[in-house]
């Protein structure tokens, strides 16, 4: 089991959180997704490490920006 934490920029409401969770959960290998609206923290669980570019692309597809690894 692997866990990675990122920071997402631009989320302002529960719908934002839902959009990010939905897109990131579709990345191959992702087993869990937690998003904290207040801090912008995105925690991704997976069976093996996932390329940050894949997570970034999913966040961008949802309409937000992955700004840093927290």
The tens digit of pLDDT for each residue in 29-58 reads 999 999 999 999 999 999 999 999 999 999
Query: DSSP letters along 24-37, please?
Result: HHTSTTEEEEEEET
Q: Which residues contact 3 (CB under 8 A, 6 or more apart)?
A: 43, 44, 45, 46
Share of the chain above pLDDT 90, in %: 93
Residue 63 pLDDT > 60: yes
């Amino acid at each position: 089991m692997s866990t990675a934490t990122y920071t997402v920029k631009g989320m302002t409401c529960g719908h934002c959180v839902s959009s990010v969770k939905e897109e990131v959960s579709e990345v191959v290998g992702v087993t869990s997704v937690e998003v904290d609206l207040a801090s912008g923290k995105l925690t991704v669980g997976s069976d093996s490490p996932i390329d940050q570019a894949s997570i970034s692309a999913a966040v961008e597809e949802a309409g937000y920006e992955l700004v840093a690894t927290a």
